[in-house]
Amino acid sequence: MTWKKFSGEIIQSSILEEVENAIIRETENGYKLKVCIGTDSQVKGAVTDFATVIVLLREHHGGFMYIHQEKSTQQVSIKERMLMEVQKSIETAYSICDLLDIYDVALEVHADINTSPSFKSNKALNDAMGYILSMGFIFKAKPEAFASSTCADKMVH
């Protein structure tokens, strides 16, 4: 799985190693960190672009992110696509959560799902929330889900 920085620079080491080095560096610089993970997707004809981001927030001092992009030609309903986004975020969270526990870094999983029933994505809200919470992760939906709705969103447009 290829991850890159916002600059486009491809990460040569594993994402786990990269995140650990970032935690050590930022903590040594006196920052308290929180990690937010989210995925967004965009359908373009027969192809769906997915972008998953790991956002490292420095408390009151901005942050930075790592990005993984992939494409799918599988045709799915909007609810299935929302749940695919959530699954990608959970897989990513699961791959780094032990590391975050070691360094006592808080983790949130963000879903690009609207909490208002008037939006189509709302159909997936209860399933997504149950899925994320049952994995033991903190869940945020729109408008608090900036990792998916703002950061990942920029990477699929």
DSSP 11: P
| Helical segments of 2-156, H only | 15-28, 78-102, 125-134, 146, 153-156
Say whether pLDDT at 103 is over 80: yes
- Report the pLDDT value the prediction gives residue 146, as an integer from 0 to 100: 87
- Report the pLDDT value the prediction gives residue 154, as an integer from 0 to 100: 81
Tokens of 108: 């949130």
What are the extents of the domains in the chain? 4-156
How far does Cα 9 stand from its chain's mean position?
19
- Report the pLDDT value the prediction gives residue 157, as an integer from 0 to 100: 66
Tokens of 109: 């999983």
pLDDT digits (tens, 9 = 90+) for 18-41: 999 999 999 999 999 999 999 999
Longest Cα–Cα distance in the chain: 47
Third-level CATH fold of 4-156:
Nucleotidyltransferase; domain 5 (3.30.420)
pLDDT digits (tens, 9 = 90+) for 111-126: 988 888 888 878 888 8
